[in-house]
């Protein structure tokens, strides 16, 4: 059904197709039960993303030039950009999470940018990917927070300098807001990328539909212009969402390191 679906249908781009299936883990042997493991188009683009990042960073710094070339300068800029972000938001102690934040930022950025190529699959447009990334951050924050501060981590929910009689209201609010972090953290990325790609595809589809509509064909210029403008916007969103995700990660890590407000 996916194969003969309408080519301009905007949801088709998110379809996951298996290149080869390894098998199913668990389940009762019937179709659909258990967890199916396959190498999919999504997996392919995850692998490509990692290859591009690692290839770029490792090859560009191969010369270890004292005076950097263009590519090395770009790699150094990425490094310093994230290093400064971590240092300013999470302090010097947060620098132990620098490789983690850097990997997150680069992974999301390159995955988003891969999605800007026509016919390429966008890894981050799938809910589960964004959720897993956000959960990874959340679990890191909780585990490190308790490891470092013990029960002092609970101070996170008790803002200092407020009178005791509003505590019963503030503490639950803080707690709920803490628990809802992975939700907002992941849905922001997922929603932005998904919506952007759908809107882009809708306008692209309108161009195709209008071109096929005989006398209406000249009007196709309108959605075409829109699609061009949205493409520019989507490049911005692709970079911005990676940045936002990384900044929020730093902010959350800062809470784990310094739980007192």
| CB 11 to another protein: min, Å | 7
For position 139 contacting another protein by CB under 8 A, the verdict is no
Closest CA to 17 of 101, 119, 136: 119
3 in contact with another protein (CB under 8 A): yes
Separation of alpha carbons 237 and 113, rounded Å: 10
Q: Which x/- pattern, by CB under 8 A, does the window 21-40 give for another protein?
A: x---x----xxx--xxxxxx
Considering the complex, state which of residue 19 and residue 216 has its C-beta at the smaller distance from another protein.
19
Beta strands in the chain (DSSP E): 18-25, 35-40
Pairing of strands 18-25, 35-40: antiparallel
Q: Which of 9, 117, 132, 195 binds another protein (CB under 8 A)?
A: 132
Least CB distance to another protein at residue 2 (A): 5
Which residues, 6 or more positions from 253, have their beta carbon under 8 angstroms from its beta carbon? 86, 89, 90, 94, 97, 101, 137, 140, 141, 144
Q: For residue 1, give every residue at least 6 positions away whose Cβ sits within 8 Å of its Cβ, in sequence order, or none.
A: none
Q: Crossing angle for the helix pair 181-211 and 221-257, nearest 10 degrees?
A: 170
Three-state secondary structure call for residue 140: helix
User: What character string, x for contact with another protein (CB under 8 A) and - otherwise, covers 51-80?
Assistant: --xx--xx--x--xxx-x---x--xx--xx
For another protein, what does the binding mask look like between residues 200 and 239, x meaning CB under 8 A? Answer: ----------------------------------------
Binding site for another protein (CB under 8 A): 1-3, 11, 14-18, 21, 25, 30-32, 35-40, 42-43, 46-47, 49-50, 53-54, 57-58, 61, 64-66, 68, 72, 75-76, 79-80, 98-100, 102-103, 106-107, 123, 125-129, 132-133, 136, 190, 194
């Amino acid at each position: 059904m996916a194969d003969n679906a309408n080519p301009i249908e905007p949801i088709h781009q998110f379809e996951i197709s298996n290149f080869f299936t390894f098998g199913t883990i668990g389940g009762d042997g019937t179709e659909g039960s258990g967890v199916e493991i396959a190498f999919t188009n999504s997996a392919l683009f995850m692998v490509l993303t990692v290859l591009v990042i690692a290839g770029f960073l490792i090859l560009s710094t191969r010369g270890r030039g004292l005076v950097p070339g263009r590519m090395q300068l770009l790699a150094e800029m990425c490094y310093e950009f994230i290093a400064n972000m971590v240092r300013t938001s999470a302090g010097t102690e947060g620098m132990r999470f620098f490789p983690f934040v850097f990997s997150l930022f680069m992974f999301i950025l390159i995955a988003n940018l891969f999605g800007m190529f026509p016919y390429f699959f966008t890894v981050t447009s799938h809910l589960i990917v964004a959720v897993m990334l956000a959960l990874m951050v959340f679990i890191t924050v909780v585990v490190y927070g308790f490891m470092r501060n013990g029960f002092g981590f609970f101070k996170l929910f008790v803002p200092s300098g407020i009178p005791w009689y509003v505590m019963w209201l503030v503490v639950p609010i803080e707690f709920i807001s803490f628990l809802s972090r992975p939700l907002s953290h992941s849905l922001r990325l997922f929603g932005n990328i998904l919506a952007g790609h759908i809107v882009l595809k809708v306008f692209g589809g309108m161009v195709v539909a209008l071109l096929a509509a005989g006398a209406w064909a000249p009007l196709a210029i309108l959605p075409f212009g829109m699609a061009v403008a949205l493409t520019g916007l989507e490049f911005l969103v692709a970079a911005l969402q990676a940045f936002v995700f990384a900044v929020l990660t730093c902010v959350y890590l800062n809470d784990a390191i310094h739980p007192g407000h």
